[in-house]
Chains A and B, each alone.
Chain A
Amino acid sequence: MEEWNKKHILGIKDLDRSEIETILSLAQSFKGISRRDVKKVPALRGKTIVNLFFENSTRTRTSFELAAKRLSADVLNFSASASSLNKGETIIDTIKTLEAYHPDIFVVRISSSASLPVLAKYTKASFVNAGDGQNEHPTQALLDMFTTQEVLGTLEGLNVLVVGDILHSRVARSDIFGFEKFGSHVTVCAPPTLIPYGFEEIGATISYELDKEIEKADVIIMLRVQKERQGMSYFPTLREYTQLFALTPERMRKAKKNVIVLHPSPVNWDEEICSSLKEKLHPLILKQAENGLAVRMAALFLVGTRRRTL
C-alpha cells in the first residue's frame, strides 16, 4: 500500500487517483471487520476523534462514530445548534476549546462551503470533511466509488449519470471530481435552474433530458429532492419535476441491464425514485451504508496513522 501523508481529507478535489485507490483498497479490508463476531480492531487505540457537527446529521455522524469505535478510537460527539452557528466566532472558539483535549482528528460538518482550510489552521488535529456546505462530501463519493467498483469491477471508462439538484449538492461535486479522476465520464441531468453557472468547465456534460441519458449510463446517482428548495421556482411543481427527472419503471426499462443506481440516502420515495422500484433498487442503496462505514474507517485510519511530516 502506498504511504499516506495527507494530513486532512477535505475534498476529492485535493486527492489524486492513487490516494483514492489507497482508501478504497483499505476500505475493502476493513469491510471484513464489521462482519466478524468481534467487530473491533485496535488500529486507532488511544486516538481521540471529535465529531464536530455544526449542521444536523444523523446518518453521516453515526457512520463516522461507528467507524471510529470499530477502530478503537475514543469518540466525542459535539453538535452545535444552528443558532450558535450564526455567530461564526463560536466555530473557531469551539475548535480552539476542543483543541484543549488534544484530539487527533476532527470530523467536521458545516454549512459554509469551502470553509475547512481556514478552520483547520486553528488546530493541530487532522480534519476529515463530513460535508461542507455545497462544496464537498468526500466520504460519500468514496463510498459511491467503492460500491461501483465492488459491483461493476472497475471505475474506469464508465458513464456516470448524476440526476437532481446539482447546484446545491456537495455529493454531486465530490462524485464528479472522483469519477473523472478514473477516466469515467460524468453527465449531470437536472433542470437548468439546478445546474451551477458555467458548469461545463468542470468537465461534466450537461443534460436536461433524463430519457435520453438513461440508456447510456453505467452508474446512475440519484439525488434527493430537497424540500427546502420547493416553492423557490427552481422548478414549478414537484409534479412537473418528477415527471421529468424521477426514476420510474418505464425509464429503468431503457437503462442498461447491469446499470447500478446509487443514492446518498434517505430516499424520498415517489419523488426522485418511484416506490415501485424499491424492491429492486433499495438493496444496493442499503449496501452503500455498509460500504460507507468501511470507507470512513479507511479515511480515519489513514489520517490517524499517517507519517507525521514537519
Chain B
Amino acid sequence: MKILIKNATIVNANKVFKASILIEKEKIVSLAQRIRVKADKEIDAEGKYVFPGFIDMHAHFRTPGREDEEDLLSGAQAAVRGGYTTICCMPNTNPAIDNEARVKWLIEEAQKDDLIDLFPAGAITKERAGKELTEFTALRRAGAILVTDDGNALKDLLILRRALEYSKMAKVLIAEHCEETALTQKGSLREGYISSKYGIGAIPAIAESLIVARDIELARYLDARIHLMHISTARSIEIIKRAKKDGVRVSCETCPHYFSLTVDDVEAAQFSGNFKVNPPLGDKKDIEAVKKALRDGVIDCISTDHAPHSPAEKELPFEEAPFGFVGLETAFAISYTNLVKSKIMDLKNLAQKMSYNPARILGLEGRGKIAKNFKADIVIVDLSRAGTITEATFASKSKNSPFLGKEFFGVVETTIHNGRIVYSASSNE
C-alpha cells in the first residue's frame, strides 16, 4: 500500500518545511516538493501540520489486572486518537510486568491489534517490591527498553545503585517515580495554603525533589543514565538543570497537567476525584518553571501518565479516590494550546518533546522524525480548529480527565502507523 500525503507542512524537531510524503509499506520512501506517483491513497494536507507519530514514555494500560479500566485495544485506540504511535506502558499491573514472559505476551497481544508499537516497561524489582532486581537482560531481550517501579520510588539505595550499575550492561533505561513516601504518607494534595485551609492530607513538594536530588547524586557518582518521570516542581527542575549543566546523564519528562493546572483548580472543582493526581498539582510558580524548563531543554519530553480509573473509583471523596488522569487523547491539544499558541515554544520544540526526544532517550532508531527511510508513523493535525473535551473525546475505557469541558486548539485528524491509517477523525465523526 502506498500513501501520498500532499502539501504537508512537516514539523520535525529541527525544522518546519513544506513537502509531500510518500509512504510505502512501513516506511517513508520519499520526501520532496512534488511527488508524481500513483498512490493507493492520497491525502491532501493543505493547511494541516504533519508531525512524526508521538511517542509516550509513560502510559498505564492496566493490563493485566484491571482490563475493566483499560485493555490493550482500548489503550491503543486512545493512543492513536491522540496521535501516538509508540507507547511505553508501565509495569505496575497486577501481576507486575517483572519477567520476560509478561513483556513478550504484552507485545504479542498488542501486535494482534496492530495499532501502535507497544514497548512494555519492565519492573526494576520483582513484584515491584523494591527488594530484588528483575532480569534486566531478559526483559530487554523480550522488548522492554525501560525499567521502572513506577508508582514507587526505590526506597533501598543499594538496590538503586545496583540497578543503575547493572543497567549499563543490560542497556535498559532506569526510570524513577520520584516520591519520598516517608513525607507523603497518605497525602492527596500539594502541601500549602489550600491543603492547610481544608485539612486535606498533604504531599510536600520536596517529596519529589528529595528523590530527584538523591537519584542525581547516585547517577553522577556511578556515571549512569537515569530518567526522572512526571517532574512537577520548580525545585526539582532547578536540581535537574544544575545536574545537566554538570554533565550528569539525567533526562526527564513532565505531563500536560503540570503546565496547565494548579492546586487552585482542585479547589475550584470542589475536590472532585477527577483532579487527584500524583505527583499532585502544584502552584503557579511550578507551572511557570515547568514551561520554562520545557522551552530551555531542561525537561526533555512530554509524557501523558495516562492513568485510567473507573467512575466508581474517581467519584469517591478526594482523599479516597485513586491518583491519575487519562491523557493520551488530550495531550497534544493541551500542549499545543498551552505551550505553542501561548508562545512558550514553537512547533519544532513540540515535535521534539513529543516525538524526537522520547525516541532518542529510549534509543529507538528510525522514528521520532519525518525523514526518508524512517518509519511511517505520522500524525496529521489541524491547528486552526478547537475542540471541547467531553467524555466522547476519549477512546479509553475511562474518562477521568480534569480537562472535561475545557476547550483546546489542535485536532488530531489522521494517525498513520507502519504505513497504515490507524485513526481518522472524519471516519470517526
Binding site for B on A (CB under 8 A): 13, 88-89, 91-92, 110, 112-115, 117-119, 133-136, 168-170, 173, 196-199, 201-202
Contacts and interface: CB of A to CB of B under 8 A. Distances in A.
B316 A168 contact: no
A117 B312 contact: no
B196 A112 contact: no
Given A91-B317, A202-B196, A117 B204 contact: no
Contacts of A92: 315-316
Contacts of B199: 113-114, 133-136, 168-170, 173, 196
B271 interface: yes
B195 A112 contact: no
**Which of A92, A134, A196 is the most central at the interface, judged by chain B CB atoms within 10 Å of its CB?**
A196
Nearest to A201: B193
B12 to A, nearest CB: 45
5 contacts: A88-B317, A91-B316, A173-B198, A196-B199, A201-B196
Contact of B202 (A13, A133, A197): A197
B352 to A, nearest CB: 36
Contacts of A133: 199-200, 319
Contact of A197 (B191, B317, B319, B320): B191
A228 to B, nearest CB: 14
A92 B312 CA distance: 9
B368 interface: no
B271 A115 contact: yes
B201 A88 contact: no
A114 B192 contact: no
Nearest to A85: B320
Nearest to A170: B199
A118 B273 contact: yes
Contacts of B272: 118
Q: Which 5 A-B pairs have the closest CB atoms?
A: A134-B199, A115-B317, A196-B196, A112-B317, A117-B270
Interface in B273-316: 273, 312, 315-316
B198 A110 contact: no
B196 A198 contact: yes
A10 to B, nearest CB: 10
B36 interface: no
Given A112-B320, A135-B199, 5 more contacts: A114-B270, A118-B271, A136-B199, A173-B198, A198-B192
Contacts of A113: 198-201, 318-319
A88 B201 CA distance: 17
A197 B318 CA distance: 20
A196 B195 contact: yes
A170 B196 CA distance: 11
A72 to B, nearest CB: 32
Nearest to B204: A197
A202 B194 CA distance: 9
Interface of B: 191-193, 195-202, 204, 270-273, 312, 315-321
A115 B318 contact: yes
A107 B177 CA distance: 41
A284 to B, nearest CB: 27
A168 B185 CA distance: 14
A202 B193 contact: yes
Nearest to B312: A89
A85 B200 CA distance: 17
Contacts of B317: 88, 91, 110, 112, 114-115, 118-119
Contacts of A197: 191-192, 195-196, 202, 204
A169 B204 CA distance: 19
Nearest to A88: B316
A202 B315 contact: no
B191 A112 contact: no
Contacts of A110: 317
Nearest to B271: A114
A134 B316 CA distance: 17
A66 B202 CA distance: 36
A53 B191 CA distance: 28
A89 B316 contact: yes
Nearest to A111: B319
B389 to A, nearest CB: 20
Nearest to A115: B317
B200 A135 contact: yes
A190 to B, nearest CB: 13
Contacts of A112: 317-320
B315 A13 contact: no
B318 A118 contact: yes
A61 to B, nearest CB: 20
B204 A114 contact: no
Contacts of A117: 270-271
A198 B193 contact: yes
Contacts of B198: 113-114, 135, 173
Contact of B320 (A88, A135, A173, A196): A88
A168 B191 CA distance: 14
Contacts of B202: 196-197
A169 B321 CA distance: 22
Contacts of A119: 317
B402 to A, nearest CB: 14
Nearest to B267: A114
A88 B273 CA distance: 12
A310 B70 CA distance: 39
Contacts of B315: 92, 118
B309 to A, nearest CB: 13
A89 B310 CA distance: 11
Contacts of B204: 197
Contacts of B201: 113
Contacts of A88: 316-317, 320-321
Contacts of A199: 196
B316 A173 contact: no
A118 B320 CA distance: 12
A114 B200 contact: yes
Nearest to B317: A115
A119 B201 CA distance: 19
A112 B273 CA distance: 12
A136 B199 CA distance: 8
Nearest to B188: A113
B302 to A, nearest CB: 30
